[in-house]
Amino acid sequence: MYVPDSVGVQIRVQVKFGSRVRQLRLVAGLTQEDLAHSCGLFRTYLSRIENGAANPTLTMIHALASSLRVPVIALFEEDVAPNFSKRKTPKP
């Protein structure tokens, strides 16, 4: 059974998660409005997720991963570059 040692633990987890969502959204070239629409969210709620002020449900986590075209686990990885890139490889 997981027992947080303080409320601060939950806040840090939410902030890390939100930061990762923002990072993946930017890599995907999406605005908050684009991602929110794709997930069926209000943009303001997505902003709260990205800022660590909201605690999304499992269903919402799945929708975020699906809309970002990454596996769910990618939303929980720290400072790991996603396996895709929108950049074109320069020709020699």
Which CATH number does the domain housing residue 38 bear?
1.10.260.40
DSSP per-residue letters across 6-37: SHHHHHHHHHHHHHHHHHHHHHTT--HHHHHH
Report how far residue 51's alpha carbon sits from residue 88's, in angstroms, rounded to the nearest whole number. 30
CA 79 vs. chain centroid, Å, equals 12
- Assess if residue 22 is contained within a domain: yes
Domain count, the chain: 1
- Assess if residue 80 is contained within a domain: no
Predicted TM-score (pTM) of the model is 0.77
- Assess if residue 51 is contained within a domain: yes
pLDDT truncated to tens, each residue of the chain (92 aa)?
A: 555 566 667 778 899 999 999 999 999 999 999 999 999 999 999 999 999 999 999 999 999 999 999 999 999 987 655 555 444 444 45
**Tokens 């890139």 correspond to what residue?**
85
CA 40 vs. chain centroid, Å, equals 15
Domain boundaries, position 39: 7-75
CA distances from 55 to 2, 29, 83 (A): 17, 24, 26
Burial status of residue 45 (CB atoms within 10 A of its CB: 0-12, 13-18, 19 or more):
middle
